[in-house]
Amino acid sequence: MNLYLRLILTLLRCWRLPRLAPGDTLERRLRVLPNDLDINGHTNNGRYLTLIDLMLVEYFVRTGFARVMLREGWRPMSGGTIISYRRGLNPLKTYDLRFRLDASDDSWNYMRFEFVRDGRVHAAGYMKGAAVARGGLVPNATSYAAMNLAPLDAPLPPAVRHWLAAEQGVMAATW
């Protein structure tokens, strides 16, 4: 139930906040809640991804992409995430979650995220996402044009290029 409450609070908050442009950093101060914890007493690895999804919802609303997706009948789709954990986030402690679109290609958008406490990165990574229509992935040229924007003109960061190469190997592997 708490996740739905967080989603509702995210939606209520983000509709009142200023618009974001692609490449702007979204930063949110959060607190580790008791239901975020695993049996080791720190934030569960799956909870990090759920929190990233909430940031993505806010990003969609504040860039105007949510409105375009609803109008066009598109839906958001995550194509994968790479995350590295360095330090645990402990109960009731506050931290900052930073989220930013770093690059895009023909169909995918690559968002960088960082979980930061006291100036130290506790976890960081990338997620890739796209819009999907009945016929498949919506080209970024189409989705950005629907928002009267151009796709972010930035090269794929080296970490993303390496991740995509590793992803091809993972998906090609068989039992």
CATH number, position 122: 3.10.129.10
**Tokens 């998906």, residue located:** 171
Domain containing residue 124: 2-169
With respect to residue 38, please indicate whether it lies within any of the assigned structural domains. Answer: yes
The answer as to whether 150 is a domain residue is yes
**Per-residue pLDDT reduced to its tens digit, 59-110:** 999 999 999 999 999 999 999 999 999 999 999 999 999 999 999 999 999 9
Over the stretch 12-27, which tens digit does the pLDDT of each residue have? 998 889 999 989 999 9
CA distances (Å), origin 19, targets 22, 62, 63, 101, 144: 10, 5, 6, 14, 15
3-class secondary structure, 110: strand
User: Quick check: is 92 in a domain?
Assistant: yes
Q: Structural domain tally of the chain?
A: 1
Within a domain: 23: yes
Contact of 89 with 115, CB cutoff 8 Å: yes
In a domain, 175, yes or no: no
Query: For residue 104, what are the contacts with CB-CB under 8 A and spacing of at least 6?
Result: 110, 140, 151, 152, 154
